[in-house]
């Protein structure tokens, strides 16, 4: 993995999918009457990273607030997100070999998104600067296609 994952074309699709899924989580939370903040997104990313490293996740049953329960449930969804990401490599004979996304690459991608979130988060409590950024980014990406 390159030092700057955000600029590595090999990971563009992975990063785009992570941001798309974060936006979907934001929309789902809003449909449940919850307002996520950038801080919540960073917390979710840390949970997903820790899960990828084999650390025990917080349970939705032990969460103390509706937002904590939502984040714990959302974390479970990310197992399926990762499983859906398939890496393709062209072999010397021209065939394409498909393999699951390696853990190190998954973690590096999540870390890159977490860093992006930190950069775009406003200084005020409850900032949604990153969430607004990805909403606009995804709309512009869809319009460009």
pLDDT digit string, tens, across residues 30-89: 999 999 999 999 999 999 999 999 987 666 567 688 998 899 889 888 988 998 988 888
For 75-80, the CB contacts below 8 A with 24+ separation are 75/44, 75/47, 75/48, 75/51, 77/21, 77/25, 78/21, 78/48, 78/51, 79/51
pLDDT for residue 11 is more than 50: yes
The region that residue 85 occupies, defined by phi over 0 for left and psi between -120 and 50 for alpha, beta otherwise, is: beta
pTM of the prediction? 0.84
pLDDT digit string, tens, across residues 90-144: 899 999 999 999 999 999 999 999 999 999 998 888 999 999 999 999 999 888 8
Among candidate residues 71, 59, 65, the one with its CA nearest the CA of residue 26 = 71
In the numeric block, which tokens belong to residue 139?
Answer: 């709309």
In the numeric block, which tokens belong to residue 140?
Answer: 């512009």
């Amino acid at each position: 993995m390159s030092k700057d994952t955000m600029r590595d074309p090999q990971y563009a699709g992975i990063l785009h999918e992570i941001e798309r899924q974060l936006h979907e989580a934001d929309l789902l939370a809003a449909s449940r009457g919850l307002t996520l903040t950038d801080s919540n997104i960073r917390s979710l990313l840390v949970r997903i990273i820790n899960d990828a490293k084999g650390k025990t996740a917080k349970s939705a049953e032990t969460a103390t607030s509706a937002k904590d329960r939502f984040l714990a449930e959302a974390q479970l969804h990310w197992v399926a997100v990762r499983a859906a990401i398939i890496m393709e490599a062209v072999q010397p004979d021209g065939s394409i070999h498909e393999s699951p996304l390696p853990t190190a690459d998954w973690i590096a991608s999540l870390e890159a998104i977490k860093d992006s979130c930190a950069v775009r988060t406003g200084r005020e409590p409850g900032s949604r600067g990153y969430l607004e950024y990805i909403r606009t980014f995804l709309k512009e990406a869809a319009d460009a296609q």
